[in-house]
Chains A and B, each alone.
Chain A
Amino acid sequence: MSDGTAQAVQHHTAPTGFIRKHVFSLDHKVIGLQYYGLALVAVFIGMVLSWLMRIHLVWPSWPIPGLSLLSKAGAPGGVMTPEYYLSLLTMHGTLMVFFVLTNAPFAAFGNYFLPIQIGAEDMAFPRFNMVSFWTTFLAFCILISAFFVSDGPPISGWTAYATLSAVGSDSGPGEGLGQTLWALSIFVFCIASLLGSLNFIATTLDLRTRGMTLSRMPISTWAWFITSCISLLAFAVLLPACLLLILDRVAGTSFFIPAGLVVSDHLQPHSGGSPLLWQHLFWFFGHPEVYIAILPAMGIVSHILINSMRRPLLSHKVIIYCMMGIGFLSYMVWGHHMFVSGMNPFSSLVFSFPTLVITIPATMMTLIWMGSLYGSRLRITAASLFALGFLSMFVSGGVSGFFLAQPSIDIYLHATYFVVGHFHMVMGVAAIFGVFAGTYFWFPKMTGHMMNESLGKLHFWLTFIGTYCIFMPFHYLGLAGNVRRYSAFVDDFLVPLIPVHRFVTYAALFTGAAQLIFLGNLVYSRFRGPAAPANPWEGTSLEWTMPSPPPFDNFGGKHPVVYHDPYQYGVKSSTGDYLMQDSPEQA
């Protein structure tokens, strides 16, 4: 017997102790749920932060109860200072982008379902997997600790533009220790993401079961695989960027700080650095990051829509090629975040072109989804509703991208609420809708209990209407010239817009409150939901071949054999209108 099997036996004995089973678990399913739990905590904090900001925007002098407990200097008497507004904004963005949009659709669902969908009993490197989660958790703790240092969290936004982020406490409250903690947190997060991506890639390439060719992988698996390739190369660039930023802050180097810079009447002891360099490095990561958030959601949504339509998409392959195309192009468009940065205007033109080109694969995917939906008898479930909601958000948010991609229009719209509305819809809400869809769809598999469908549908309609009410007016505000990141609207041209902001704030409070339905449903169903059968949605992929929840070693110590393409729906078979991937039966 080779030692390969010896090792396998060793690691596939189910652990018995609590710590090994639930805390430092090597099981990809537990790790997936841990990522999900972390994302849930992060999204809750991020949402509360957005509430605080929205409330402050429309009732700037109203003392928010309890806020002064969080920071005496930042919110004296419960009324936040403009700087503290920026601190909350930074933390909201960082939590949401890194710990929610990267973790939930990719790390959480990917960890749980990628090995199962390819017929493996675990990830390729279970120990790396565990380390990857706990490193992410460490990054989360470092970030949150910025709330509790003397001058609070940083004010430089989730993009941490140098020189604001690089010169230290001269540039404002939170730019001392808070900003250093931020940079350290992201540095650690990069390491965790790299380990995670490495694991995903090796697992997909090496651990597919017999008959599971690349073209037979479900679209969700393809999406996670492509995302892990993007993530690997993107975080590998953010990591050195964070290192250089930390060195500028603590070691006195001048990578990003130019000579002769005077901040708060202090001449900064640096020379010759380039603030634009940070933006280049950051956005070289930052734009692919957008697709790290949205591609897994695209995969999950495709997987669910196909199941609900009971027929495959018009083209399985084109969807996959489009995702690859988006992934490839995502590395060529970072400059479109920098049209007004002082970069050579000719570069703007160069970056504008691939930005417009990237809409082609995105549009092709949308057309395939819509074309496949046309005339199908869609099974309306909470999951399929959220999948439709994803399409709606993706299109509504994507259309504004056409405007922003053009430098001449972007000069006006840049850093206005138009941009805020654009990326919240296309990246934020769309990806979150993908996560909701995935949750309603896979919850029975993950917990062995069904969720309440009626509550799920109610949750969908409230969230769907609510998010449109929040983010559609942002486009109007942006066109009217409302600059983002202002903590109060005192200029003449902004005062007439305050009623719109008030409406948005009401919508945000309402939509946030509607999430309690989801949370309640999640917790109640976890313990009291009716028992889930192995295949409640009559799905075809491998996750539905095992009991709910799956046993420790997924396939009971056997390798499944795959005989079919992933989506054999609308066929005649002994099981009904579908054929499972591991069924030896011919349609």
Chain B
Amino acid sequence: MATTIQPPDTESTELPIDDGKSGGGIGNSNPAGEPTRALDDRPSAPSRTGIWVGLAAITMSFAAFTSALVVRQSTGADWRHLRIPPLVFFNTVVLLASSVTLERARRRVADFFRSKSGQRSVPLFWLGATLLLGLVFVGGQYAAWLQLRAQGLYLATNPNSSFFYVLTAVHALHVLGGLAGLTRVLLRLSRPAVVLRRSTLDATSYYWHFMGVLWLYVLLVVWIKL
């Protein structure tokens, strides 16, 4: 916006702003008397808020799937126990490991920005590792579906296989979304002039860690119920 080239506002110095309690938006809370321009120079926070809101919606969707599963289990006489392909547990470890590498990447990004001489290749390495582990997870899930198929269990074979495919596929789709976000961060960071907002990195990593937590939940449901 054009404020960056405008002189700071001065109108607010004479009268008390009567700020009430919170003094404006969560991201814009600004001590009284400070020129509004200072607001613009802050990294914007909406992506951080937005990601929490998005995660709430995803949680709600999986709650709906879970309740559908519970209702479906109680109505039909065709509930057959499903042997979860062991590969899924390996995938779990991979996904959890990717959260660890992402946290390391975040620390290194912080180091890189703090000292101008910091090595860019270090955070890039850890981000790349996260991306790779994420891809291995999705590939592993695909392999698990192939194993189920080899047992003769297709999407429509019985309710248990239906729910297994639906839950894991919807989760995998969300993981792919996270991978797209990670790729975006990676590309931003590898440009000559780095244009990366902290909130973007934060939002991406919250999302990614949430994918791990969500997967543990899905695994638990699948394990207990299917």
Which A residues lie at the B interface, using CB under 8 A? 1-9, 12, 118, 121, 124-125, 194, 197-199, 201-203, 205-216, 232-233, 235-237, 239-241, 243-244, 247, 251-255, 258-259, 271-274, 276-277, 280-281, 284, 553, 556-559, 561, 563-564, 584, 586
Contact = CB atoms under 8 A, between A and B. Distances in A.
Counting from the closest, the 8 A-B pairs by CB-CB distance are A272-B76, A208-B25, A557-B2, A124-B46, A236-B60, A252-B156, A213-B20, A272-B78
Contact of A244 (B12, B27, B68, B79): B68
Contacts of B9: 558-559, 561
Max count, chain A CB within 10 A of own CB: residue among B2, B23, B25, B41? B25
A272 B77 contact: yes
Contacts of B27: 205-207
Contacts of B47: 124-125, 202
B20 A206 contact: no
A550 to B, nearest CB: 14
A212 B25 contact: yes
Interface in B48-85: 49-50, 53-54, 56-58, 60-61, 63-65, 67-68, 71-72, 75-79
Contacts of A239: 61
10 contacts: A202-B50, A210-B19, A210-B36, A212-B25, A236-B58, A236-B64, A237-B64, A240-B65, A280-B71, A561-B12
A210 B39 contact: yes
A510 B15 CA distance: 57
B176 interface: no
Nearest to B46: A124
B186 interface: no
Given A209-B28, A236-B64, A9 B4 contact: yes
Nearest to B17: A211
Nearest to B194: A3
Nearest to B40: A5
Contacts of A209: 24-25, 28
Contact of A236 (B43, B57, B79): B57
A225 to B, nearest CB: 12
B97 interface: no
Contact of B1 (A9, A212, A271): A9
Contacts of A236: 57-58, 60-61, 64
A134 B23 CA distance: 35
Contacts of B23: 210-211, 213
Given A7-B197, A272-B75, 6 more contacts: A208-B24, A213-B23, A274-B71, A274-B72, A558-B9, A563-B17
A199 B57 CA distance: 13
Contacts of A243: 166, 170
Given A124-B50, A255-B162, A561-B11, A206 B6 contact: no
B3 A559 contact: yes
A198 B166 CA distance: 24
B24 A210 contact: yes
B117 interface: no
Max count, chain A CB within 10 A of own CB: residue among B49, B53, B71, B156? B53
B119 interface: no
A255 B61 CA distance: 16
A198 B61 contact: no
A390 B11 CA distance: 41
A272 B60 contact: no
Interface in B15-35: 15, 17-28, 30
B78 A198 contact: no
Contacts of A205: 25-27, 46, 49
Nearest to B12: A561
B187 interface: no
Nearest to A586: B15
Nearest to A272: B76
Contacts of B50: 124-125, 198-199, 201-202
B159 interface: yes
Nearest to B56: A232
Contact of B46 (A1, A206, A274): A206
A564 B77 CA distance: 63
Nearest to B2: A557
A3 B3 CA distance: 14
A273 B75 contact: yes
B197 A4 contact: yes
Contact of B53 (A202, A237, A255): A202
Contact of A207 (B12, B14, B28): B28
A557 B49 contact: no
B195 interface: yes
Max count, chain A CB within 10 A of own CB: residue among B28, B45, B58? B28
